[in-house]
Amino acid sequence: MRIAVGQYASSEDWTVNLKTCQDLIDRAAEGGADLLVLPEGAMALFVDEPTRIREAAQPLDGPFVSGLVERTRGSSTTVIAGVHTPSGDGRVFNVLVAARDGEIVGTYTKLHLYDAFGRRESDNVVPGTNPPVVIDVAGWKVGMMTCYDVRFPELARLLADQGAQVIALPTAWVRGPAKEWHWEVMVTARALENTVYLAASGECGRRNIGASMVVDPLGITRARLGDAPGLLWADASMEELERARLSLPVLENRRFAVDPRLERDV
């Protein structure tokens, strides 16, 4: 599998962000990518006015997602990006959309909301209640999770239980003390403890760290960006995955299962 990860500094103008995403989709397709992972909140930036997310949200058939989906038409590249959609109660959902060849092939609603480090995503966002989502991409099983989800190892393990060989992780990782270290540790750990490839896209700009990366099943970083916009590339090999799982059979050696029941609602 040929993996591309796109990173950019989101604008408050969704039309600007759509053009940026479309350009990244074109570049990924031209480079032969099977999978392109774009950031969380790809549609718009909400820094000084978090409540603005409510007015800026668009439905899945709105112009932003429609523009993304249409750009994939005629291409075998699967594109995964994070958007916000109306929930019906005044707040919004934080949704990952997977699109390929002009169609939506999967969606995932963020389960763990970022109520940490002095922020409260749940003030404006409704958490998902859906089970973990795994989609087929070029003969591979790709699981989806969003940003703060990476701090909860049970979700990545549930994706591995459903056969995930790659995990796509769109994020908007906020700057802060030790936050880049947390990012390195969490992304690497989720890949290593589940022997999967992990493709993490990080929004960059004045609020977020960027640092998009692809980590292999033995926890080695295969490609990484800094804090500037860019497109990184990495190749995943089924033979390499099988060797990793043979030499480090953690999925076979474990003694406990993960209970998929929700612990609580938000």
Q: What is the CATH number of the domain that holds 19?
A: 3.60.110.10
Domain containing 67 equals 2-253
Of these residues, 21, 110, 203, 204, which one is catalytic? 110
Q: Per the domain annotation, does 199 fall within a domain?
A: yes
Q: Determine whether 110 is an active site residue.
A: yes
Q: Per the domain annotation, does 266 fall within a domain?
A: no
In this predicted model, what pLDDT tens digit does every residue of 103-143 receive, in sequence order? 999 999 999 999 999 999 999 999 999 889 999 999 999 99
- 62-74: buried (b, 16+ CB within 10 Å) or exposed (e) per residue? eebbbbbbebbee
Q: Per the domain annotation, does 117 fall within a domain?
A: yes
Of these residues, 19, 49, 103, 147, which one is catalytic? 147
Token pair, residue 51, equals: 């409540």
Q: Per the domain annotation, does 121 fall within a domain?
A: yes
Domain count within the chain: 1
Q: Per the domain annotation, does 258 fall within a domain?
A: no
Token pair, residue 9, equals: 């500094």
Range 162-181 average pLDDT: 97
Q: Per the domain annotation, does 260 fall within a domain?
A: no
Summary mean pLDDT of the chain: 95
Q: Is the pLDDT of residue 81 over 70?
A: yes
Quickly state the pLDDT bin for 52 (edges 50, 70, 90): confident
Q: Determine whether 147 is an active site residue.
A: yes
Q: Is the pLDDT of residue 264 over 60?
A: yes
Q: Is the pLDDT of residue 250 over 60?
A: yes
Q: Per the domain annotation, does 171 fall within a domain?
A: yes
User: Which comes out higher in pLDDT, residue 56 or 167?
Assistant: 167
Q: Per the domain annotation, does 264 fall within a domain?
A: no
